[in-house]
Amino acid sequence: MRKSMVTIDGHIGSGGFDVGRKIARMLGWRLFDRVRLQAIENGQSLDLADQATEAEFSDRLWSWVERAASYFAVGAAGDDPLLQGGADLHLPLTWDRHGPTSADALSNSHDFSRLAKDGNAVIVHRAGAVELAQNEGVARVGIFADWDDRVRRVMAREGLNDVSAAERIIFEREKSQREYFDKVHDADPEDPELYDFVVNTSDKHIDIATIEVSRYVKEQRDRIAV
């Protein structure tokens, strides 16, 4: 069985980390964002979470999907902690002006080759859509949202009361993101052609987006298993 991975890129403030965190928890996969990849640079192990077996993958995925669908049907999604996103609002967003500036810097410090070999990982906002584009078993997901929704999410996540401060954060982090994609890969992170699956979280709840991404990952995993 080839190893599976999910990369999540796209708009800053669109909910990519929330979707990535939920999928990683649901599947028992390792989650890598700026904080966890920094830990790798400091010499900590890549094995930051237990990997699920093949049977556990299917059982946990569809158990979660069925429960989520049931909760949404009765309007009670907020009662299930696995479906809530509020607990991690204090966590940092993942692109900033200290982001990587060269292909070597990213591949060496973040060890994408090792991640690709080990598989069963979710990589959030570290340009995985382009860094791992040639690897089989990688589901490249683009998460996007309207500007106002992104501003509100950044304000909530970073405890801001000033709209202009949140807008400045998004602008600065996306500037760094775009510069890396452009200089290293001659690509645009907003280009839908970079992704295998695209979700707009202004059109649907984060948890619905998570269900859709999870279904896509399951379909891809089943496909490569044949």
pTM over 0.85: no
Q: How confident is the model at residue 75 (pLDDT cuts 50, 70, 90)?
A: low
Task: Choose among 97, 94, 93, 106: nearest CA to 176.
Answer: 97
Tell me the per-residue pLDDT of 127-159, one tens digit each, with 9 for 90 and over: 889 988 888 889 999 999 999 999 999 998 888
Domain ranges of the chain: 5-225
User: Mean pLDDT of all residues in the chain?
Assistant: 74
Q: Which helix (H) or strand (E) holds 124?
A: strand 121-124
The pLDDT of 6-13, averaged and rounded, is: 94
- Beta-ladder partners of 144: 200
The confidence score (pLDDT) of residue 134 equals 85
3-state secondary structure 167-222: HHHHHHHHHHHHHHHHHHHCCCCCCHHHCCEEEECCCCCHHHHHHHHHHHHHHHHH
Instruction: Report the top-level CATH class of 5-225.
Output: alpha beta
The pLDDT of 16-28, averaged and rounded, is: 88
Coil vs helix vs strand at 223: helix
Which of 30-34, 38-42, 166-170 is modeled with the greatest confidence? 166-170
Q: Is the pLDDT of residue 120 over 80?
A: yes
Q: Is the pLDDT of residue 40 over 90?
A: no
